[in-house]
Amino acid sequence: MPLVPRNAISPMPPLAEGIGLPWDVPVDDAVAEIARARAVHGDTFVVESGRDRYLFTFSATGVESFYALAEDKASKGVADYLMLRRKLPDEIFDGRRTLPGSLFRKGDVASYLVNLEHALAATRAELGPSGTVDVFALTRRIAHRMGLASWAGPGCADGESFERLVVAFDALDGADAFVHPDAMAAVAASGKAAEHAALAEITEVIGEAVDRRPATDLFARIVAAWDPEPDPVRRAGVAWDVALIHIASMSNLASALGWALVDLVEHPEVQAAVVAGDRELADRCALESTRLAQRSIMGRTVLAEVAFDDGDQTYLVSPGATIATLLPLTNTTAGPGLAEWRPERWNRSRLADTSMLASPTLVTAFGHGKHSCTAQPFSLAAMSTAVTDLLGTYELRAGWTSYPRPVPAQIGGVARADGPCPLDYATRH
């Protein structure tokens, strides 16, 4: 019997020749590149980039089939790993005992939100009564402080330990793999030197926190999982569990909060209702800003042959290929009016009206199906709390002259702004 080659797709969809992904070839705009391929080849096509083969799908049935793929046959975990390993040192993936998926047990979110209140108080103290701050630097610092208070152990969200961890996590940031994919060749060429140094720093700071128990609930769980081990295995194990959790939290939350602030500053009438305490409206605003800022490539790496139906054709996809879709290409165009910021289109965390969509799965902020974000309720609560607090404390005035642009090479996660995004603030009287 003839062997089916690795990556084979049968029948073979159109191949988007001359199109590559930003890890492998320089591109001006990674999303525009895939949009160009779609304009030429339709809703299903193949991109071959570097050693990888991607089956992109954008039709209603294709996207529904994508979200229905079983993890043991077409894996999100493997696709994420293959992306993140371009940036993160190998050892961080080895032998983890507490994973980001276990962050949201009963009671956990409440304790993270208390830490957010502390982070907001520290932010007000740092900002003082008036000044200018970069929106995304501000939201990133808030997210670092809340996250490290929630899972990094006592003392890690304040003072020198906090500042050391911020510098180290900014260097280690796994999101660079998809925010700055064009920088990954240099990361590989350096042998991940900066990342190894950052992980060593994180291990030292969090290792000290292990000795400072008692701890927060989550940190206590992480430490307990390593209790039987001798030092320094225990310290490194705890620190790397925390590191992977914090890196997962850094993928989207801080930037989504940044866009929510930007959009509310741009819409003073909605802002007034949020400041007056309309919490449901704040949630809708957070969802709407996140939807519009989505730049996620969603991938599933095929582990065992799957039959993939895009509505016109069923393809047999062999192990090694990745089935993918790209949220920015459907989120704003799958129906009329989706390019506009209209928070009222959301009813709780669903679109109020999906009648104009060929499939509800074509639009999303937090994903669909079994892999949809486990952190969604927490993230929405955190964003709403933070925007309500900041807008209630300060009059905010846009220092940008035109709406901020995403980093053009970015292909994954929520958009990062390409360049400074200054915000003038003054305490409300």
| Residue 226 burial (CB count, 10 A) | 20
Piece of 108-116, 122-130, 290-298, 332-340 that binds ligand HEM (CB under 6 A): 290-298
Q: Pick between residue 354 and residue 374 the one whose CB is nearest to ligand HEM.
A: 374
Q: Residues 26-65: x/- map of binding to ligand HEM (CB under 6 A)?
A: ----------------------------------------
Round to the nearest angstrom and report the end-to-end CA distance of the chain. 79
Which of these ranges, 97-105, 222-230, 232-240, 392-400, lies near ligand HEM under the rule CB under 6 A? 97-105
Ordered strands of the 9-10 beta sheet: 9-10, 314-317, 306-309
In whole angstroms, the minimum distance from the beta carbon of 388 to ligand HEM comes to 16
Which of residues 44, 252, 289, 388 is near ligand HEM by CB under 6 A?
252
Distance CA 276, CA 301 (A): 46
Tokens of 258: 């940044």
Q: Cβ of residue 251: shortest distance to ligand HEM, in angstroms?
A: 6
Query: Which region holds residue 113: left if phi is over 0, alpha if psi is between -120 and 50, else beta?
Result: alpha
Interface pick for ligand HEM out of 59, 75, 216, 290 (rule CB under 6 A):
290
The verdict on whether omega for the bond into residue 11 sits within 30 degrees of 0, i.e. cis, is yes
CA nearest 383: which of 358, 425, 411, 346?
346
* Pairwise CA distance, residues 37 & 425, whole Å: 43
Q: How far is the CB of 100 from ligand HEM (least distance, A)?
A: 4
H or E stretch including 47?
Answer: strand 44-49
CA–CA dist 117, 135 (Å, integer): 18
**Residue nearer to ligand HEM on the CB measure, 402 or 410:** 410
Footprint of ligand HEM on residues 103-162 (CB under 6 A)? Answer: 103
Shortest Å distance, C-beta 89 to ligand HEM: 19
Binding residues for ligand HEM, rule CB under 6 A, total: 23
Could you tell me the smallest distance in angstroms from the CB atom of residue 376 to ligand HEM? 7
Q: Distance (Å, rounded) from C-alpha 56 to C-alpha 65? A: 12
Nearest to 296, CA basis, from 273, 329, 274, 253: 329
Selected from 172, 187, 199, 256, the binder of ligand HEM by CB under 6 A is 256
Nearer to ligand HEM, 28 or 365 (CB): 365
Nearest distance, CB of residue 28 and ligand HEM, angstroms: 25
Contacts to ligand HEM from residues 63-82, by CB under 6 A: 76
Choices 10-18, 119-127, 252-260, 403-411 (CB under 6 A): range interacting with ligand HEM: 252-260
Q: Would you call 408 helix, strand, or coil by DSSP?
A: coil
| Contact range with ligand HEM by CB under 6 A, out of 192-200, 202-210, 318-326, 361-369 | 361-369
Phi, psi of 251 (to 5 degrees): -60, -40
Residue 389 phi/psi, 5-degree rounding, is: -65, -50
| Choices 34-42, 185-193, 242-250, 347-355; region in contact with ligand HEM by CB under 6 A | 242-250
User: Is 101 near ligand HEM (CB under 6 A)?
Assistant: yes
Q: Which of 8, 113, 373, 398 binds ligand HEM (CB under 6 A)?
A: 373
Q: Which helix (H) or strand (E) holds 186?
A: helix 184-189
Nearer of residues 19 and 63 to ligand HEM, judged by Cβ: 63
Strands (E), 296-348: 297-302, 306-309, 314-317, 322-326, 346-347
If binding is defined by CB under 6 A, does position 330 make contact with ligand HEM? no
Distance (Å, rounded) from C-alpha 172 to C-alpha 167?
Answer: 9
Cβ closer to ligand HEM: 14 or 369?
369
User: Taking CB under 6 A as the rule, does residue 98 contact ligand HEM?
Assistant: no
Tokens of 179: 């925010």
Residue in 253, 275, 281, 292 binding ligand HEM, rule: CB under 6 A: 253
Q: Which is nearer to ligand HEM, 63 or 265 (CB)?
A: 63
Question: Which residues contact residue 400 at a Cβ distance below 8 angstroms, ignoring those fewer than 6 apart?
Answer: 262, 421, 422
Q: What is d(CA 42, CA 35) in angstroms, rounded to the nearest whole number? A: 10
User: Around Cβ 326, how many Cβ atoms within 10 Å?
Assistant: 25
Instruction: Check binding of 367 to ligand HEM (CB under 6 A).
Output: yes
Q: Quick one: which of 138, 248, 415, 417 contacts ligand HEM (CB under 6 A)?
A: 248
Alpha-carbon 252 to chain mean position: 3
Measured from the CB atom, is 104 or 400 closer to ligand HEM? 104
Instruction: Output 350 or 397, the one with its CB closest to ligand HEM.
Output: 350
Give the pair of three-digit tokens for residue 151. Answer: 């899972």
- Contacting residues toward ligand HEM, per CB under 6 A: 76, 100-101, 103, 245, 248-249, 252-253, 256, 290, 296, 298, 365-367, 371-375, 379, 414
